[in-house]
Structure 1
Amino acid sequence: MKRFSLLFWFICVPLLFHSTCNSKHTVFASESEIDHMALIKFKESISSDPNGILVSWNTSTHFCNWYGITCHPTLGRVTELNLQGHRLKGYISPHIGNLSYTRRFELANNSFYGNIPLEVGRLSQLQIFDVQNNTLVGEIPLNLTHCTQLRSLYLYGNNLKGKIPTEIGLLRNIQFLNFGRNQLTGEIPSSIGNLSSITELFLNNNILKGDIPQEICDLKSLVIVALGINKLSGSFPSCLYNLSSLIRINLVENQFSGPLSPNMFHSLQNLQVLFLDNNKFSGPIPPSIANASSLSILGLSLNRFVGRIPSLGKLQDLYHLNLANNNLGYNSTNDLEFLKSLVNCTNLEILCLSYNSFGGHLPNSLGNLSTQLRKIYLGNNEIYGEIPEAIGNLVGLTLLTMFNNHVDGIIPTTFGKLTMLQVLGLLGNKLSGKIEPFIGNLSQLFHLDLRANRFEGSIPPSIGNCQMLQHLDLSLNNLTGTIPPELFNLSSLFSKFDLSRNSLSGSIPDEVGNIHNIIFLDMSNNHISGHIPLGVGKCVMLEYLFLQGNSLQGVIPSSLASLKSITVLDLSQNHLSGSIPNFLQNLSFLQYLNVSFNVLEGEVPTKGVFGNVSVLVVVNGNSKLCGGISELHLPPCPVKSEKHAKHHKFRLIVAILSVVVFLIVLSSTFAIYWSRKEGKKPSLNSSTIDQLAKVSYQSLYNGTDGFSTTNLIGCGNFSSVYKGTLELQDRVVAIKVLNLQRKGAHKSFVAECNALKNIKHRNLVQILTCCSSTDYKGQEFKALIFEYMRNGSLEQWLHPTTTSVEKQRTLSLKQRLSIMIDVASALQYLHHECEQPIIHCDLKPGNVLLDDEMIAHVSDFGIARLLSTTKGITSKQSSTLAIKGTVGYVPPEYGVGAEVSTYGDMFSFGILMLEMLTGRRPTDEMFEDGQNICNFVAISFPSKLFQILDPRLIPIEENDWNLNPDVEKCLVSPFRIGLACAMESPKERMDVVDVSRELHQIKKAFASCCAWK
C-alpha cells in the first residue's frame, strides 16, 4: 500500500499538475486572442494613417510588439494603448471595450470623430483616458463613470455637447479632469464635490451657466480650477478663499459680479495665477493681495474695479499685471503712487494700466522698474505732465503706449536707447517740439503713431532707417517742410501711412510707388502742390487714398487705373484739371469717389461707379462738368455741330496716323536693341520677396501659444497651418509655417510670395505679411500670414467627417452656385486681369476657403506659375517647381509633359463644379476600370440629373422643391458648364470669362425658377 501511494505521487500528481497548467495556458491564450481581435477592429476603424505608424500592426509580429501597445509581462494582455499626435483619422471602435486589462488609453492630438463608445465603461482597470484635441461629438457617456479607477480624464478640445453628467461624482479617484474647449451646456453639477482626490479641474471654453456650486470647496486637494470662457454668474465663492492648496484660478469671460472680499488673499498664499478678466466684478482691489507673495500673473482687466491700487511690492515673482479697462484711480495726483512699489518686482515683464481713470504725473521711479519689462500700456487715462527721461533705462521695452492722455513736453532723447522697441503709441496727447532724428535708431520699430499732438518742424529723414516699419501715422500735428523721399524707401509699410492735417509743402515724391504694399495712404489737408505722381499707380494694394485739401495740379493720372483694390478715393479741394478719366468706371471695388471743388471739365462717365447709385460719387464744385446720371444734377453736355465734328474727326485721324508711324519706328528700334540684350534679361525666378512686409518669429510664436497643436488647423505637403493672432491687433489669422526640411518647400515659399505680393481680389485669400527669420533653435524659419477663414474649406463642407455635423453643414444649391461664381471670378482675375497672368495649378475644394459670409476665397499658391507669354502657356523658364497638383484635379495633358496653362486651371475648375453638384470626389472608389467623374455625369446628362445630384440637395418631400417647369434647365446648365470645362482636349475647354458670364445668368435664372434657398 505504501509503495502504491508513492507511485501515485510520483506519476499521477505531476500529470494532474501538467493538465492544470495547460488549462491555464489555454485560458491565457484565449484571453490574449480577445485583445488581438479588439486591436484589429480598432485598426479597421482608422481611415487615415499619414505617418504610417500602424504598419507594424500585422500578423508577422505579436501584437504586444506593435507600435503604441504595451502588454502585461506575464499575462500578455494589453495594458496601454498610446497613439497620441500621429494625425490618425477615424472613429474609436467599440471593440476597445474588450481590452479589459487596459490602464492607459491615449489618442490625444489626432482627428478621431464620432462618439466616445459606451463600451469604454467596461474597462474597469482604466486609469488614464486621454482623447483631447480630436473632433469627437455627442455627449459625455455615462458609462465612463463606471471606470472607478480613473485617475486622469482628458476630453479637452472636441465638439462634445450636452450636460456634465451628475454621475461624475462617482469618480472618487480622479485627480485630473479636463472637459475644456467643448460645447457643454447646463450647470456644473454639485456632485463635483465628491471628487475628493481631484487636483486639477478644467471646464473652460464651454457654454456652462449658473453659479459655481459651493460643493467645489470640499475639494481640499484642488490646485488648479479653470472655468474661464463660459456663461457662469453669481459671486466669487467665498469658500474658495480657504483652499490654500490653490495655485491657479481662471474665471475669465464669464458674468461673475460683486466685490471681492478684503481678506480674500489671507489664505491664498500659494496662489501663482489669478485670471478674473472680462467679468463684472466691482469694488476695490483687496488690500490683502500683498499676502499672495507667490503671485506671478494677475489679470483683473475688463471689470468694474474702482479706487487706488494697493502696494504690490511684496509680489516679487509678479511678471504679468493687467488692470486695464476698469474704473481704477480718482484722476488725482496720487493715483500712480503704487508704481514705486513695483520696483521690487524684478521679474515684471508686462504692465497694463490702460483705460482707467489714473491721474497725476508719471513718476521717475518708472525708470527703475525691471529691465526685463517688455510692454507698458498706459493709454486712455488722465495722466499729465512730461514723460520722465528715466524711461530710457528700460532697454528691454518692445511696446510703449500712452495714447489719449494729457502728456506734454517733448519725447525724451533717452528714447534713442530703446533699440528693442517695436511699438510706440503716443497719439492723442499734447507733446510738442520736433520729432528728433533719434527715432531712426529704433530699427525694430514696426508701429509708430504720433498723431494728434503738437509736433512741429520737419519730418526727420532718419525715420527711413526703420526698415521694419509697417504703420506710420504723424497726422494732426503742426509739421512743416517737404515730405522726405526716404520715407518711401520703407517697402515694409503696408498697414497705414498717414501725414494728413499738417502744413507740409512741396510735391509728392514719385518714389511713393516704392511702398507698393500700402493699404491706407493719406496726405490730405496739407499744402502739397505739383502733380499726382505716376508712382501712385504702383501702390497696387491701396484701398484708401486721401489727397484732398491740397494744391495739386494737372490731370488725374492714368496710372491710377492700376489701383484694382481701391475702395475710397478722395481728390477733392485741389486744382486738378482735365476730364474725369473713363478708367475710373472699371474700378470695381470703389465705394466712395470725391473729385469735388477742382477745375475738372467735360462729360462725366455714366458706367461703373458713376452709374451705381449705391456708392457715393461727389463731383460738385466743378463748374465745367456736364452729363452723368441724373442723380448728379449736372447740366447736359452741349451737342457739337456737324461741321465742327467733321473737322475734329479729320484732326483725330491725322493725329492717330502720326502716332502709328511713330510707334512703328520706335518698335523697330526697340526690337533691335532688345534682340542684343536678350541674353541679359533676368528670369522670373529672380523676383524677390524682400518687398513683402514681415513680422517677427517671436510675434508668431506668441500668437500661436508656441505653435501649439491645439492651434493646428491643417497640414500640407510643404507646410502646417496654425490659427493665431498678431500681436497688437485684435485679428485672428492663419499662419502657414513652411516645413523647410521637405524638398521644394523653399521654392514653394518663394513661388507663393511672388504670386501673391502684387495681387488682390475679394475671392483670393489675402496675404497679410510674412516671416523669414530663424526660430529659437537657430534654424531657418519661414511663414506666410493670411486672413483666417472661420468657415473652413469647401472640402469640409462637401465631405464632412462626422455624421452628426453633416446635416448642419450642408451647402444649399444656391450657396454652391455662389461659390462657383466666386471661384470663377478669382480665376478670371488671375488669368486675365493681373499684370502678369497667374496659373494656380492646384485648384481643389481644400484650397477654396469660406469666410463668415460664405464668400469663397481661393488659397494656396505654393505651386502657382507666372505666365511669361501672351498665349496662355508658360515658357520653360517660368518656374523651376515641378508640377504636382492633386490627383483627380490635374488635367490629363500634364501627365504627358505638356506645359502648364490656363486651360489646366479650367479643367480643375470643371472637376470642382462636378464634385460640388454630385457630392462625389473625383477619386471616389466607385470610379475605377476607366470610369471617372466626367463619364459618371455624362452618362446621365441631361435627362437623369436627379439620379446623380448630391442627395443632400434633394428634400424628403418632392413638394418641398416648390419648382416651376423650368427647374430642369436651372440644373442642366451648371452640369453642362462643368463638363465643358473638363473636356479632355485643352483647347475645347471653356474660357473663364465665358464661364463667369454664364454662371451669373444661371444665378438670375435660379432666382426666378427655383424657390429653394
Structure 2
Amino acid sequence: MWLGPNKIVVVAAILGNQTDHLALLKFKESISTDPFKTLESWNSSIHFCKWHGIKCSPMNERVIGLNLEGYQLHGSLSPHVGNLTFLINLNLRNNSFYREIPQELGQLIQLQQLYLTNNSFEGKIPTNLTYCSNLKDLYLDGNLLIGKIPVGIGSLKKLQRMTVWKNKLTGGIPSFIGNLSCLTGFSAGSNNLDGDIPQEICHLQNLTILFLGENYFSGMIPSCLYNISSLVEISLTLNNFHGTLLPNMFNTLPNLQAFVIGQNQISGLIPTSIINASFVLKFFDISNNNFVGQVPTLGRLRDLLFLNLEGNNLGHNSTKDLEFLKSLTNCSKLQAVSIFNNSFGGILPNSIGNLSTELEELYLGDNMISGKIPAELGHLIGLILLTMEYNYFEGIIPPTFGKLQNIQKFAFGQNKLSGDIPLFIGNLSQLYHLDLYRNIFDGNIPPSIGNCQKLQFLDLSHNKLRGTLPLEVFNLFSLTNRLDLSHNSLSGSLPREVGMLKHIDWLDVSENHLTGDIPETIGECISLEHLNLQGNYFDGTIPSSFASLKDLRYLDLSRNQLSGSIPDVMQNISALEHLNVSFNMLEGEVPTNGVFADATQVAMTGNNKLCGGISQMHLPPCPITRRKHTKHHKFRLIAVIVSVVSILLIISFIIFMYCMRKRNQKRSFDTPTIDQLAKISYQELHQGTNGFSPTNLIGSGSFGSVYKANLVSDDHVVAVKVLNLKKKGAHKSFIVECNALRHIRHRNLVKIITCCSSTDYKGQEFKALVFNYMKNGSLEQWLHPEIVNEEHPTTLGLGQRLNVIIDVADALHYLHQECEQLVLHCDLKPNNVLLDDDMVAHVSDFGIARLVLAIGGSSQKDNSTIGIKGTVGYAPPEYGMGSKVSTCGDMYSFGILVLEMLTGRRPTDEVFEDGQNLHNFVAISFPDNLMKILDPRLVSRDVEVAMQDENRENLIPTIEECLVSLFRIGIICSMESPKERMNIADVTGELSKIKKAFFNGVHAHS
C-alpha cells in the first residue's frame, strides 16, 4: 500500500525518534553510578527531548546535543551513542567514564564537538573518528589513552582545536598535521611523545596555541615556527630540545603572549629582539636551560606578568648583571620574578623597590649577589614569597620588611646577615616558612615568633644565637614541617612544652649547650620522623616515651651525658632506620630486635659499659645475674662468707705478685728475653749490607739506621735495623723491641727474623735487629714523596688508603686486645708503617713500646721503657703533661695518621701555627667542605675517575660516604680529651662497615 510522500516522512521521523530514545536508554544502562541523580528524569513520563542534558532539533525532534559535563557519572560509554546520527555536540567532560572510546562514534557524521576531557578512557584513539568529517573540536585530554595519534586524523579538514594533553600516547607528531589547515589550537603535552617537531607544522598559518610540554621531544625548535605570526602561546617545557634561539624571533611574533620553554637544553643568548617585542607578552619562561650572558632590557613588556630566568648561567658575577631589574619597573602588572640559580653578581639595586606593588613572588636565591639588602624592598607590600638564600648579603634584615603583611615565605639562609632576629617577625601573621639558616645572627630568639600562628617551617640553625629556648616557639601548633635550632649557643633545658608540637616532622636542637633531662613529653610528638639532640649536655636517662613515636625514622642522641640503659621499648619503633647513641655514659644490655637487629643502623661508640646485643655489634657479653632467693638465708650467708674470703685471697695474691715484681725489676731491665731468637753474626750483616754502605741505607729513626741486606747464607733480602748505641736509651730500645716482638705475631705487624748482639771489627758493642724486607717502603714515602713523577705518580688511591688504615687498625686491635700482654706501641706514624709487595701494611718500630701485664682487676706496666713517649705531632697532648702512656694515646696517634692520609698534610705542617693543628683544620670543614681539606691527589685519582664512570650518580655518593666516615673516625680518635676518643674495637667495627659499603659500591659499578 502506497502511503504517499508526507506519510513516509512522518514514519521516518517516528522511527528515528525511537532509535534516539532507545540509544539514550542504552546510554543510561551503562552508567553504574549517578551520585547527583542526574538521569532520574530519563523516564517514560516525559519526552526524551526534555530529559536533563538532552537538546533536540525543533524541526524533527532528533537529538543534536548530549551534555552531561561534571556530574561524576561512573560507567562505560555505550556504543549505542553511535545511533544518535543527528548528534552535533557530545560533552561528557569531568566524569568517570572508563574502558575504551567506542568505534561506533565514527557513525556520528554530523558531530562537530566531541568533549571527553578528564575521564578514565583507556585504549587507543578510535580510528573511526576519521569519518566524523564535520568535527571541529576534538578534546580527549586527561584520560589514559595509549598508542599513536591516528594517521586518519589528517583527513578532518574542518578540525580547529585538538587536545590530547595528559594521556599516555607514544610516537611522534605525525607529519599529516600540516594538512589540518583550519587548526588553531594543538595541545599534546604530558604524554610520552618523542622525536622532532615536523617541519609540516609550519603550514598551520592559523595556529594560535601550541602546547607540547612534558614529553620527550628532541632536536631543535623549527625556526619556521617563528614565522607563524598568529601564534599567541608556545609551551615546550620539559623536553630535550637543544640549540639556540634566533636573535630576531620576537620581531615576527607580534601576538605572542606566552613563551614557555623551561627545562630543556637550549643555550646561547636571550634573543635581543625581546627588547622590541610587543606589549602583549605576559609569560616569559626560559628556566632550567643553558642560557648565558646578560639579560636584555625588558621595559617594553608592559603587560608582563611572569618572568622566569632561573636555572641558567646568566650573568658574569659583575656589577652590571642586575641592571635589567631597573627596566622591570615599567612592567606595572608584574606578579612573579625568578632569577634563582644563575651567576648574577653585584649589588641589588635600590630601584628594585619600585617594582609593581602587585608583585607576589620574588626569587633571588643561589647567585653571587652581595652588599646589604635594600630597605626599599619593604615597599613591595604585595609580596607573598621572598627568597634570597645562598648569596653574600650582609648586614641586618631591614626594618621596612615589617610592612610586608602578606608575606608567607622568607628564605634568607646561607648569607652573611647579622644582628638580632628582628622583632617585627612576630607581626607577620601570614608567615608559614622562615629560613635564616647559616648566617651570623646573634642575640636571643625573639618570643614574638610565637605570634606567627601559621608557621610550619622554622630554621634558625648555624648561627650564633644564645639564651634559652622561648616557650612561645613550642606553642606554635602549626609547626608541622621543621623546627631546626641546631648549631647555635643556646642554653638551658629543652622545655617539656615540646610535647605541644604534636604534628612536627623534623625537630633538631643539636650542637648547642642544652642541659637537663630529655623531657618525657617528647613522646607526644606523634608525627616526628627526625629527632636530633646530639652535641649537648643532656643527662638522665633515655625517655621510654620514645616508643610512642611510631613514625620515627632517625634519632641521634650522641655526644651527651646520658646514663642508664637503653629502654627495651625502643626496639618496638618499627619505622626507626638510624639510631646514634655514641659517646654517652650508657650501660647495660643492648636490645636485639627492631633497629638493634641491624648493626649498620646503630652507632654506640663511646659507651664502654654497654653489653650484649647482636654479635655484629662486637659488644662484650653481659655478666650473668644470679637468681635471688628470698627464703634460703643460710645459703646467702655462706655465699657472702665465701665471697669475702675469695676477695681477701685475691688481694693477698696481688700484693705478693707486686712485691715479687719489684724485687725482680732490675733484672727485667738488664736481661732481655731474646733467648728464643736465632742469632746472626756481625760478619754476615756486614757482608750483606756491603759494609753498611750508604747506598743500602733505606731509612733512619730515633735510635738507629735501617739497611737493605742480602743474606748470602739463604739468599734472603732483609731489612737490618742497626742501633746507635751512643744515643741515650738505644740499649733499652733494643731490649724493648726484642721483648715486644718475641710475644707478638700478626699479619699486619713486621716480623722479626733474628737479631745480632755482638762486637764490630773495631771491638765496639754492636746490636741489630733483622726483619722481613718491605719492597714498597714506608707509608711516609707514599704520602710525601721527595720527588714527584708526574708521568708515573707514586700516590695511593682512596681504596688503597682505606686498606692501609684497616691494616693498621687490625694491628692495633691485636696489640690492645688480643695479646697475652697488652702492648702499647707509643710511636705510631707513617714512617713506622711499612708496605709489602702486595701493598699490605705492617706496623713496625717497637723501640719504645710498652708491655702491660694484666693481673686481676689492675695492671702492671713493664718498666723496660724509656723516657721518650712518641714523635711530635703524633704523640697525644696528655703525654706532654706527664700522663702515663695508654691505649688512648695510641688511638690519638692513629687518628692523626688517618687525618694525614686523607688530607696529605703532616701534623707538623708549616700552616699549623697560632694554636692551629691538623685536628682543628679538619674539624672546621667537616662535613660540609671536605673538598677544601681533601688531599688533591685523592681528588684527581678517585673522584675524577668516578666522574667519568657511567654510573657516577651512584658511585660518587659511595666515595663521599666513605670519606665522611673516615674523617669522622680520624676526628674522634684525635680528640684532645682521652675520654672522648674511640677505642680500637669500635674503630675496627666502623672500618668493617666502611670497607663493605665502599668496595661493594665500587665493584657494583666497575
Instruction: Say whether the 8 Å CA contact 1:609–1:615 is kept in structure 2.
Output: no
Q: 2:137 aligns with which of 130, 135, 152?
A: 152
Instruction: Say whether the 8 Å CA contact 1:402–1:426 is kept in structure 2.
Output: yes
Instruction: Say whether the 8 Å CA contact 1:593–1:618 is kept in structure 2.
Output: yes
2: CA distance, partners of 1:650 / 1:84: 90
Q: How many residues were matched structurally?
A: 635
**1:332 matched to 2:318:** yes
Task: Give the TM-score, by structure 1 length.
Answer: 0.61
Instruction: Say whether the 8 Å CA contact 2:444–2:467 is kept in structure 1.
Output: yes
Q: Deviations over 1:348-405 (max 9, x none)?
A: 1111111111111111011110111111111111111111010110111111111111
Instruction: Say whether the 8 Å CA contact 1:257–1:280 is kept in structure 2.
Output: yes
Q: For residue 518 of structure 1, what is the aligned residue in structure 2? A: 504
Instruction: Say whether the 8 Å CA contact 1:545–1:569 is kept in structure 2.
Output: yes
1: CA distance, partners of 2:302 / 2:81: 51
**1:100 matched to 2:85:** yes
Q: 1:78 aligns with which of 63, 67, 79?
A: 63
Q: 1:390 aligns with which of 363, 376, 388?
A: 376
One-letter identity of the residue aligned with 1:341: S
Helix, strand or coil for the counterpart of 2:307?
strand
Q: Deviations over 1:270-304 (max 9, x none)?
A: 11111101111111110111313211111111111
- After superposition, the Cα gap between the structure-2 partners of 1:60 and 1:411, relative to the gap in structure 1 and judged at 3 Å, is same
Q: Tell me the CA shift for residue 178 of structure 1.
A: 1.2
1: CA distance, partners of 2:256 / 2:11: 56
2: CA distance, partners of 1:583 / 1:197: 72
2: CA distance, partners of 1:236 / 1:266: 17
Instruction: Say whether the 8 Å CA contact 1:272–1:294 is kept in structure 2.
Output: yes
Q: Tell me the CA shift for residue 504 of structure 1.
A: 1.0
Q: 2:594 aligns with which of 608, 612, 615?
A: 608
- After superposition, the Cα gap between the structure-2 partners of 1:79 and 1:524, relative to the gap in structure 1 and judged at 3 Å, is same
Instruction: Say whether the 8 Å CA contact 1:160–1:184 is kept in structure 2.
Output: yes
Q: For residue 532 of structure 1, what is the aligned residue in structure 2? A: 518
Helix, strand or coil for the counterpart of 2:589?
strand
Once structures 1 and 2 are overlaid, which stretch shifts more, 50-59 or 385-394?
50-59
**1:52 matched to 2:37:** yes
One-letter identity of the residue aligned with 1:423: K
Helix, strand or coil for the counterpart of 1:504?
strand
Instruction: Say whether the 8 Å CA contact 1:591–1:615 is kept in structure 2.
Output: no
Q: Tell me the CA shift for residue 642 of structure 1.
A: 6.5
Instruction: Say whether the 8 Å CA contact 2:371–2:393 is kept in structure 1.
Output: yes
Once structures 1 and 2 are overlaid, which stretch shifts more, 585-594 or 356-365?
585-594
Q: For residue 622 of structure 1, what is the aligned residue in structure 2? A: 607
Q: Deviations over 1:942-962 (max 9, x none)?
A: xxxxxxxxxxxxxxxxxxxxx
- After superposition, the Cα gap between the structure-2 partners of 1:102 and 1:580, relative to the gap in structure 1 and judged at 3 Å, is closer
2: CA distance, partners of 1:646 / 1:134: 79
2: CA distance, partners of 1:459 / 1:218: 64
Q: For residue 988 of structure 2, what is the aligned residue in structure 1? A: none
2: CA distance, partners of 1:623 / 1:192: 76
Q: Tell me the CA shift for residue 322 of structure 1.
A: 0.9
**1:564 matched to 2:553:** no
Helix, strand or coil for the counterpart of 2:545?
helix
**1:274 matched to 2:259:** yes
Q: For residue 166 of structure 2, what is the aligned residue in structure 1? A: 181
Q: For residue 435 of structure 1, what is the aligned residue in structure 2? A: 421
Q: Tell me the CA shift for residue 608 of structure 1.
A: 3.3
**Structure 1 vs Structure 2 CA RMSD:** 2.2
Helix, strand or coil for the counterpart of 1:265?
helix
Q: Tell me the CA shift for residue 643 of structure 1.
A: 7.4
Q: Tell me the CA shift for residue 36 of structure 1.
A: 2.2
Q: 1:363 aligns with which of 336, 339, 349?
A: 349
2: CA distance, partners of 1:358 / 1:202: 35
Q: For residue 685 of structure 1, what is the aligned residue in structure 2? A: none
- After superposition, the Cα gap between the structure-2 partners of 1:308 and 1:628, relative to the gap in structure 1 and judged at 3 Å, is same
Instruction: Say whether the 8 Å CA contact 1:445–1:469 is kept in structure 2.
Output: yes
Q: For residue 847 of structure 1, what is the aligned residue in structure 2? A: none
Alignment of 1:812-891 (within 5 A): none
1: CA distance, partners of 2:9 / 2:213: 53
Q: 1:130 aligns with which of 107, 112, 115?
A: 115
One-letter identity of the residue aligned with 1:187: G
Q: For residue 61 of structure 1, what is the aligned residue in structure 2? A: 46
Q: For residue 19 of structure 2, what is the aligned residue in structure 1? A: 34
- After superposition, the Cα gap between the structure-2 partners of 1:548 and 1:191, relative to the gap in structure 1 and judged at 3 Å, is same
1: CA distance, partners of 2:225 / 2:31: 45
- After superposition, the Cα gap between the structure-2 partners of 1:162 and 1:650, relative to the gap in structure 1 and judged at 3 Å, is farther
One-letter identity of the residue aligned with 1:597: F
One-letter identity of the residue aligned with 1:367: G
Helix, strand or coil for the counterpart of 1:136?
coil
2: CA distance, partners of 1:614 / 1:112: 52
Alignment of 1:341-352 (within 5 A): 341-352=327-338
- Give the gaps of 5 or more residues in structure 2: 637-1006
**1:588 matched to 2:561:** no
Helix, strand or coil for the counterpart of 1:270?
coil
1: CA distance, partners of 2:591 / 2:380: 58
1: CA distance, partners of 2:336 / 2:524: 40
Q: Tell me the CA shift for residue 605 of structure 1.
A: 2.9
Q: 2:281 aligns with which of 295, 300, 310?
A: 295
- After superposition, the Cα gap between the structure-2 partners of 1:310 and 1:647, relative to the gap in structure 1 and judged at 3 Å, is farther
Helix, strand or coil for the counterpart of 1:574?
coil
Alignment of 1:241-280 (within 5 A): 241-280=226-265
- After superposition, the Cα gap between the structure-2 partners of 1:128 and 1:647, relative to the gap in structure 1 and judged at 3 Å, is farther
2: CA distance, partners of 1:564 / 1:124: 62
Q: Tell me the CA shift for residue 462 of structure 1.
A: 1.0
- After superposition, the Cα gap between the structure-2 partners of 1:436 and 1:648, relative to the gap in structure 1 and judged at 3 Å, is farther
- After superposition, the Cα gap between the structure-2 partners of 1:599 and 1:614, relative to the gap in structure 1 and judged at 3 Å, is closer
1: CA distance, partners of 2:634 / 2:529: 39
- Runs of 4 or more off by more than 4 Å in structure 1? 640-651
Q: Tell me the CA shift for residue 648 of structure 1.
A: 12
- After superposition, the Cα gap between the structure-2 partners of 1:314 and 1:529, relative to the gap in structure 1 and judged at 3 Å, is same
Q: Deviations over 1:176-215 (max 9, x none)?
A: 1111111111121111111111111111111111111111
Q: For residue 306 of structure 1, what is the aligned residue in structure 2? A: 292
Q: For residue 177 of structure 2, what is the aligned residue in structure 1? A: 192
- After superposition, the Cα gap between the structure-2 partners of 1:57 and 1:460, relative to the gap in structure 1 and judged at 3 Å, is same
- After superposition, the Cα gap between the structure-2 partners of 1:649 and 1:548, relative to the gap in structure 1 and judged at 3 Å, is farther
Instruction: Say whether the 8 Å CA contact 1:270–1:293 is kept in structure 2.
Output: no
One-letter identity of the residue aligned with 2:289: N
Q: For residue 146 of structure 2, what is the aligned residue in structure 1? A: 161
One-letter identity of the residue aligned with 2:274: I
Q: 1:413 aligns with which of 388, 399, 419?
A: 399
One-letter identity of the residue aligned with 2:565: S
Q: Deviations over 1:152-175 (max 9, x none)?
A: 111111122111122222111111
- After superposition, the Cα gap between the structure-2 partners of 1:114 and 1:626, relative to the gap in structure 1 and judged at 3 Å, is closer
2: CA distance, partners of 1:154 / 1:145: 14
2: CA distance, partners of 1:123 / 1:605: 73
- After superposition, the Cα gap between the structure-2 partners of 1:139 and 1:585, relative to the gap in structure 1 and judged at 3 Å, is closer
Q: For residue 869 of structure 1, what is the aligned residue in structure 2? A: none
2: CA distance, partners of 1:648 / 1:56: 93
Q: Tell me the CA shift for residue 647 of structure 1.
A: 10
Q: For residue 454 of structure 1, what is the aligned residue in structure 2? A: 440
Alignment of 1:645-684 (within 5 A): none
Q: Deviations over 1:296-344 (max 9, x none)?
A: 1111111111111111101111111111111111111111110000000
Q: 1:143 aligns with which of 116, 120, 128?
A: 128
Helix, strand or coil for the counterpart of 1:516?
coil
- After superposition, the Cα gap between the structure-2 partners of 1:357 and 1:24, relative to the gap in structure 1 and judged at 3 Å, is same
2: CA distance, partners of 1:376 / 1:160: 39
Instruction: Say whether the 8 Å CA contact 2:544–2:570 is kept in structure 1.
Output: no
Kindly name which structure, 1 or 2, has the bigger radius of gyration based on alpha carbons. 2
Task: Give the TM-score, by structure 2 length.
Answer: 0.61
**1:401 matched to 2:387:** yes
One-letter identity of the residue aligned with 1:600: L
Instruction: Say whether the 8 Å CA contact 2:19–2:83 is kept in structure 1.
Output: yes
- Give the gaps of 5 or more residues in structure 1: 1-14, 652-1013
Q: Tell me the CA shift for residue 646 of structure 1.
A: 8.2
Q: 1:472 aligns with which of 451, 454, 458?
A: 458
Instruction: Say whether the 8 Å CA contact 2:599–2:617 is kept in structure 1.
Output: no
